[in-house]
């Protein structure tokens, strides 16, 4: 029996497709026999994928190096010639890090609480406020809506450092410098997340919303009960991106009281402690990179589903 | 002439009225948009506008801003040698890492796309992880360390390529290549994810049709089927690549020190950082920010119009 992949046309009783040229059937058979696409040369495949493999190794090397360094005891960190893999892997660096954390001027749990609080509130606000805006921008045509969205696309290009100075001035004018709001409010308005949400919602059929409207649902109810459950991948993506950026937020320019600093800031202060803390610095690198990477692994398929709609239409 | 102007304004008035009527009907849209719009305008657009305003003043935060006309820009272009160095470096970085990072992101996404599912998942992770790994790029300061304990130095010395360790991060000739490598390492970011996801979404039937119509190899398939389908993602990826290429700041500061030897690692953004956060010359820093931003928007326009022609 010969079947053609993704063929949905008429078939004969034995399942062989009608109307499919012989050429295609033959190509498919040979492709199946060799288990690859018909118009690919084997030599090309081997060549390309071995290059890809080498590049992937090169990409992964620094991260593996970082993890291995964190597992090396102090004498191995300064061994000559330096080695890649630790000979006697230990978790000493991590326990040393815990000791240093215990000695900080502000109880270390305070930094953790700060980061958890900021991440939680910021992400929550970002998803709600961003989705509300994304919904109307994606599904309704109203005056000033399009120009506003192109402004958001332009804002995707803003670099944190470039706007940091005037941002500080604006924040000091409204008096939120050195409060959590200084981190939270810009994070809630993050253009990237809103942009992704809007692009994803474009794919939602308008008939869904209209039928709810005919049934007498108010806009707010449509948003909560029809729209939001249907864009689950998008708001999961929003959560992940928001968590990633808030976790990495140091905000050293807008927060100056030590008790309000974030965990990453405190960890990087330890990291900057010079050569005596080389081991701990390596441990910090691993701790800091672990959270974003772990969240990405857990939600990869949802993120990719959202990114599939991220394209910019003319 | 007057009748023309009158007609023009009458038309404008009419259009505004129609828009106003429509706006009144769509009140809830504005209610939904309002919370986001207020925050967005306050923390993204307003700072940009303030920055443009301050770029025409002398402002050091302590004294009130003093209007100096275009002096900041004139100083910047004609008198600031370090800025010229920064511009050269930034363009060098942007021209190499921008297009190269962009093309590499696409190529890797394209090659990964044909792998079996679990390898694909792993490959996406390997390529994407560097860009989200916080300050993991700091590990390059160990790899490229200037003494014999540096990883690269020790390998090269063991192989007998060099006799004495090379000061990778303090020799002006070597700083830029190192930064370019690290920036490229981190360049598979959101744009890359967008490419991977977009490639998954290309309709298989188009490829099948391609086989029938005699598309012979993967390159023809790429040019005639894949690229035209990927245009929206390519446009989005371009925005991301530009942002990244012109915004290089953390990497040179962490690796080459701040300030770096002979300003070899000075980029426009580190220059801005210097004037804004070290010298508190906010007016001057704002002028740098404004220039950078204009260049970025122009680049974006240029690339978007170039990409529209792809595959058509």
Q: Cβ of B127 and A56 within 8 Å?
A: yes
* Percent of chain A scoring above 90 in pLDDT: 7
- B174-178, long-range: CB < 8 A, 24+ apart: B175/B252, B175/B255, B175/B256, B175/B260, B175/B261, B175/B264, B175/B265, B176/B89, B176/B92, B176/B93, B176/B264, B176/B265, B178/B140, B178/B144, B178/B255, B178/B256
Q: What is the pLDDT of residue B249?
A: 80
Residue holding tokens 């449509």? A222
Which residues pair with residue B66 across a beta bridge?
A: B58
Q: Cβ of A163 and B127 within 8 Å?
A: no
CA distance A5 to chain B (A): 9
The two tokens of residue B172 are: 């002006």
Q: What is the mean pLDDT of residues B256-267?
A: 79
Q: What is the pLDDT of residue A124?
A: 92
Please state at what angle helix A160-174 crosses helix B282-308, rounded to 10 degrees: 130
* Gap between the Cα atoms of B307 and B312, Å rounded: 10
Q: What is the pLDDT of residue A134?
A: 92
Instruction: Count CB atoms within 10 A of the CB of residue A118.
Output: 22
The two tokens of residue A145 are: 């809506």
Q: Which residues of A touch B293 (CB under 8 A)?
A: 157-158, 162
Of B29, B46, B216, nearest to A136 by CB-CB distance is B29
Nearest to residue A170, comparing CAs of B79, B77, B47? B47
Q: Is A253 on the interface with B (CB under 8 A)?
A: yes
Q: What is the mean pLDDT of residues A216-233?
A: 87
Q: Is A43 on the interface with B (CB under 8 A)?
A: no
Q: State which residue of chain A sits closest to B287, comparing Cα positions.
A: A162
Q: What is the mean pLDDT of residues A209-229?
A: 87
Of B29, B43, B188, nearest to A140 by CB-CB distance is B29
Q: Is B302 on the interface with A (CB under 8 A)?
A: no
Residue holding tokens 């970085």? B93
Q: Which residues of B touch A44 (CB under 8 A)?
A: 217-218
Compute CA distances A226 → A137, A205, A209, B36, B272, whole Å: 16, 11, 7, 21, 47
Q: What is the pLDDT of residue A1?
A: 43
Compute CA distances B236 → B192, B194, B231, B240, whole Å: 10, 8, 9, 7
Q: What is the mean pLDDT of residues A214-218?
A: 87
CA distance A209 to chain B (A): 14
The two tokens of residue B141 are: 């300061």
Per residue in A87-128, pLDDT tens? 888 888 888 888 887 777 777 788 888 888 998 899 999 999
CA distance A102 to chain B (A): 23
Of A21, A140, A297, nearest to B125 by CB-CB distance is A297
Chain-centre distance for alpha carbon A37: 32
* Gap between the Cα atoms of A227 and B298, Å rounded: 37
DSSP annotation of A11 reads: B
The two tokens of residue B41 are: 């305008």
The two tokens of residue A73 are: 């005891």
* Gap between the Cα atoms of B175 and B157, Å rounded: 20
How would residue B272 be classed by pLDDT, with cut points 50, 70 and 90? confident
Q: Is B136 on the interface with A (CB under 8 A)?
A: yes
How would residue A84 be classed by pLDDT, with cut points 50, 70 and 90? confident
Per residue in A228-251, pLDDT tens? 888 888 888 888 888 888 888 776
Q: State which residue of chain A sits closest to B246, comparing Cα positions.
A: A159
Top residue of B38, B52, B194 to mutate, by most chain A CBs within 10 Å, is B194
Q: What is the pLDDT of residue A111?
A: 84
Q: Is B158 on the interface with A (CB under 8 A)?
A: yes
DSSP annotation of B214 reads: T
* Percent of chain A scoring above 70 in pLDDT: 86
Say which CATH class A102-307 falls into.
mainly alpha
Top residue of A54, A154, A159 to mutate, by most chain B CBs within 10 Å, is A159
How would residue B310 be classed by pLDDT, with cut points 50, 70 and 90? low
Q: Cβ of A80 and B293 within 8 Å?
A: no
Q: Where are the domains of chain A?
A: 1-36, 42-90, 102-307
Q: What is the pLDDT of residue B116?
A: 82
- Establish, for the pair of chains A and B, how many residue pairs have beta carbons separated by less than 8 Å: 289
Task: Please state whether A141 falls in left (phi above 0), alpha (psi between -120 and 50) or beta.
Answer: beta
Q: What are phi and psi of B46, to 5 degrees?
A: -55, -45
Q: Cβ of A285 and B138 within 8 Å?
A: yes
- Residue B99: CB partners within 8 Å, gap ≥ 6? B241
* Gap between the Cα atoms of A298 and A310, Å rounded: 20
Q: Where are the domains of chain B?
A: 79-308
Per residue in B163-189, pLDDT tens? 788 888 888 888 888 888 888 888 888
Query: Is omega for the bond preceding A205 within 30 degrees of 0, making it cis?
Result: no
How would residue A28 be classed by pLDDT, with cut points 50, 70 and 90? low
How would residue A5 be classed by pLDDT, with cut points 50, 70 and 90? low
Q: Is B169 on the interface with A (CB under 8 A)?
A: no
Q: State which residue of chain A sits closest to B33, comparing Cα positions.
A: A133
With b for 16 or more beta-carbon neighbours within 10 A and e for fewer, the B35-54 pattern comes to bbbebbebbbbbbbebbbeb
C-alpha angle A86-A91-A95 in degrees, rounded to nearest 5: 145
Domain B79-308 has CATH 1.10.3720.10: yes
* Gap between the Cα atoms of B180 and B140, Å rounded: 12
Q: Is A12 on the interface with B (CB under 8 A)?
A: no
Using CB atoms and an 8 Å cut-off, which of residues 240-299 of chain B contact chain A? 240, 242-243, 246-247, 249, 269, 272-273, 276-277, 282, 285-286, 289, 292-293, 296-297
Q: Is B17 on the interface with A (CB under 8 A)?
A: no
Per residue in B95-135, pLDDT tens? 888 888 889 999 899 888 888 888 888 888 899 988 888 77
Q: What is the mean pLDDT of chain A?
A: 81
Chain-centre distance for alpha carbon A87: 34
Residue holding tokens 């190529």? B107
- Residue A226: CB partners within 8 Å, gap ≥ 6? A208, A209, A212, A217
Compute CA distances A297 → A159, A235, A270, A306, whole Å: 27, 16, 28, 15
């Amino acid at each position: 029996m010969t079947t053609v992949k993704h063929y949905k046309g008429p078939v004969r009783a034995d399942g062989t497709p009608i109307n499919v040229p012989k050429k295609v059937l033959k190509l498919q058979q040979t492709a199946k026999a060799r288990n690859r696409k018909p118009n690919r040369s084997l030599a090309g495949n081997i060549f390309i994928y071995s290059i890809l493999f080498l590049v992937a190794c090169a990409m992964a090397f620094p991260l593996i190096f970082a993890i291995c360094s964190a597992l090396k005891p102090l004498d191995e960190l300064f061994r000559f010639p330096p080695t890649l893999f630790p000979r006697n892997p230990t978790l000493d660096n991590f326990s040393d890090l815990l000791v240093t954390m215990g000695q900080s001027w502000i109880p270390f749990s305070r930094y953790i609480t700060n980061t958890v609080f900021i991440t939680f509130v910021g992400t929550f606000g970002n998803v709600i406020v961003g989705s509300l805006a994304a919904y109307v921008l994606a599904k309704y045509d109203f005056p000033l809506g399009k120009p506003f969205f192109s402004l958001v696309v332009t804002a995707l290009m803003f670099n944190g450092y470039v706007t940091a100075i005037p941002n500080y001035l604006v924040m000091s004018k409204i008096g939120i410098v050195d409060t959590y709001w200084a981190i939270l409010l810009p994070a809630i308005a993050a253009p990237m997340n809103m942009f992704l949400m809007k692009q994803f919602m474009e794919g939602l059929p308008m008939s869904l919303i209209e039928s709810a409207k005919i049934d007498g649902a108010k806009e707010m109810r449509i948003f909560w009960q029809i729209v939001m459950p249907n864009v689950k991948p998008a708001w999961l993506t929003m959560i992940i991106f928001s968590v990633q950026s808030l976790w990495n937020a140091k905000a050293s320019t807008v927060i100056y009281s030590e008790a309000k600093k974030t965990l990453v800031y405190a960890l990087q202060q330890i990291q900057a402690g010079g050569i005596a803390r080389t081991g701990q610095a390596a441990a910090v690198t691993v701790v800091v990179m672990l959270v974003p990477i772990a969240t990405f692994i857990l939600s990869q398929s949802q993120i990719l589903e959202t990114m599939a709609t991220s394209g910019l239409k003319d | 002439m007057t009748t023309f102007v009158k007609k023009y304004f009458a038309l404008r008035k009419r259009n505004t009225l129609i828009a106003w009527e429509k706006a009144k009907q769509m009140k809830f849209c504005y209610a939904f948009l309002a919370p986001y719009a207020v925050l967005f305008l306050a923390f993204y657009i307003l700072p940009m506008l303030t920055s443009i305003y301050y770029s025409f003043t002398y402002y050091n935060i302590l004294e009130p801003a003093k209007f100096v006309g275009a002096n900041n820009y004139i100083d910047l272009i004609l008198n600031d040698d370090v800025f010229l160095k920064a511009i050269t470096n930034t363009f060098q970085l942007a021209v190499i890492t921008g297009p190269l990072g962009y093309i590499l992101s696409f190529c890797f996404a394209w090659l990964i796309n044909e792998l079996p599912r679990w390898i694909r998942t792993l490959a996406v992770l390997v390529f994407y992880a560097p860009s989200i790994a916080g300050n993991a790029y700091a590990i390059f300061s160990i790899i490229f360390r200037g003494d014999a304990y540096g990883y690269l130095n020790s390998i090269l010395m063991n192989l007998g390529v060099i006799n004495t360790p090379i000061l990778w991060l303090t020799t002006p000739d070597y700083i830029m290549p190192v930064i370019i490598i690290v920036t490229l390492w981190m360049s598979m970011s959101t744009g890359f994810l967008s490419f991977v996801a977009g490639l998954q979404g290309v309709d298989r039937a188009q490829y099948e049709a391609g086989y029938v119509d005699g598309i012979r190899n993967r390159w023809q398939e790429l040019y005639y089927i894949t690229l035209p389908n990927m245009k929206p993602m390519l446009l989005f990826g371009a925005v991301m690549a530009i942002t990244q290429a012109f915004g290089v700041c953390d990497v040179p500061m962490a690796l080459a020190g701040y300030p770096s030897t002979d300003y070899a690692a000075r980029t426009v953004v580190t220059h801005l950082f210097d004037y804004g956060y070290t010298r508190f010359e906010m007016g001057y820093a704002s002028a740098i920010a404004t220039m950078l931003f204009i260049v970025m928007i122009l680049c974006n326009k240029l690339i978007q119009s170039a990409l529209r022609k792809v595959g058509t």
